[in-house]
Each structure stands twice: as structure tokens, then as C-alpha cells.
Amino acid sequence: MTRWFQIKAVLINCGIAAALIYRYWTGTPLLIIAIVAVILFPLANVMMAITAKQQPNRSR
């Protein structure tokens, strides 16, 4: 995997974590946030990996 893919993965995961933390602070029960996190983190990363594989490699 390229360095750019790793940077995007970190940014996307931080965005998901920030959104879940915000929902927790606004009163969403922790169980619901945990269930959403278990589903959303792997789903986002798998979709990003699939998208990265489908894009043609760019040579510099």
C-alpha cells in the first residue's frame, strides 16, 4: 500500500472516531455507539481498500 493510502485511512478513521465521540457527548447511549463503531470502521476500511485496488497505478 502506498503512503497516501495510509494517510487517507488515518484521516477517515479519525473522522469516524470524532463523529462517534460527538454523538456520545450529545447523549447517544454507549452501546449504540459501540455497535456502530464495530460495523463502520471495518466497512470504511474495506471499501477504501477495494477502491484503491480498482484505481490504475500511476507511475511517476
Taking residues 41-47, what's their average pLDDT?
95
Show the cell assigned to 57.
497505478
pTM beyond 0.85, yes or no: no
Contact 16, 44 (CB under 8 A): yes
φ, ψ of residue 55 to 5 degrees: the values are -75, 140
CA–CA distance, 20 with 51 (Å, rounded to integer): 24
Written as one letter, the residue type at 1 is: M
CA–CA distance, 4 with 8 (Å, rounded to integer): 6
pLDDT higher than 80, residue 7: yes
